[in-house]
Amino acid sequence: MKYEEIEKIVKETLSEKRYNHSVGVAKRAVELAKIYGEDEEKAKMIGIVHDIAKQMPKEEALLYAKENGIVFDEIEEKEPSLWHSKLGADIAKKKFGFTEEMAQAILYHTTGNVNMKIMDKIIYLADKTEEGRNYIDLELARNISNRDIDEGVLYVAKVAIEYSLKKNSLIHPDTIYLINQLIEEKENKK
């Protein structure tokens, strides 16, 4: 499926605000892909689709999960805001023909994961550093992300935890494991 067709479906599926965010993520993903020598078109496609399931009503989301064998872990069950990553990855494969690799970037874009590959990190960072974000020091986050992808992921993950704590939301262990991994890798490079 071509980008223009996918973007049209995303625009019809999401609110204007969420669609604009997705366009911003696609744009930022292209910027990061260019910096890190990754496929810009693939990054753009993943970026536009990453939140395709974000506004799915709860009952519809639960039904989709049940019908498609998607299982939520203990934290996800208590935090429905995390569901869209798993649902979106599945929709991307089935509706848009995304590869496993592309779907994985959607799967990991919210919490991060210790198994992240470069494209996963690009989408994670693009989601958190697109120009419409206001909960983070955007200029600092973008500068770090443009200079060192792992440092960018580490910085953004720490900010995400702080943000979750302020909102009194549960923190997914994948984010904590990711932070620990990045800190250990950084220490081992010294």
Q: Residue 24 carries which DSSP code?
A: H
Q: How far is CA 39 from CA 22, 36, 95, in A?
A: 18, 9, 21
> What digits encode the pLDDT tens for the residues 1-53?
899 999 999 999 999 999 999 999 999 999 999 999 999 999 999 999 999 99
63-79 average pLDDT score: 96
Per-residue confidence (pLDDT) for residue 158, from 0 to 100: 95
- Which of these, 109, 106, 107, 89, lies nearest to 153 by C-alpha position? 109
| pLDDT at residue 135 greater than cutoff 80 | no
What does the longest C-alpha to C-alpha distance in the chain come to? 49
pTM of the predicted structure, to 2 decimals: 0.95
- Which of these, 56, 5, 45, lies nearest to 23 by C-alpha position? 45
CB 171 within 8 A of CB 68: no
DSSP of 36-103, one letter per residue? TT--HHHHHHHHHHTTTTTT--HHHHHHHHHHTT----HHHHH-GGGHHHHHHHHHHHHHH---HHHH
| pLDDT at residue 55 greater than cutoff 90 | yes
> What digits encode the pLDDT tens for the residues 154-181?
999 999 999 999 999 999 999 999 999 9
> What digits encode the pLDDT tens for the residues 101-116?
999 999 999 999 999 9
| pLDDT at residue 190 greater than cutoff 80 | no
Per-residue confidence (pLDDT) for residue 131, from 0 to 100: 92
Classify domain 3-189 by CATH number: 1.10.3210.10
Q: What band does 184 get if pLDDT is binned at 50, 70 and 90? A: very high
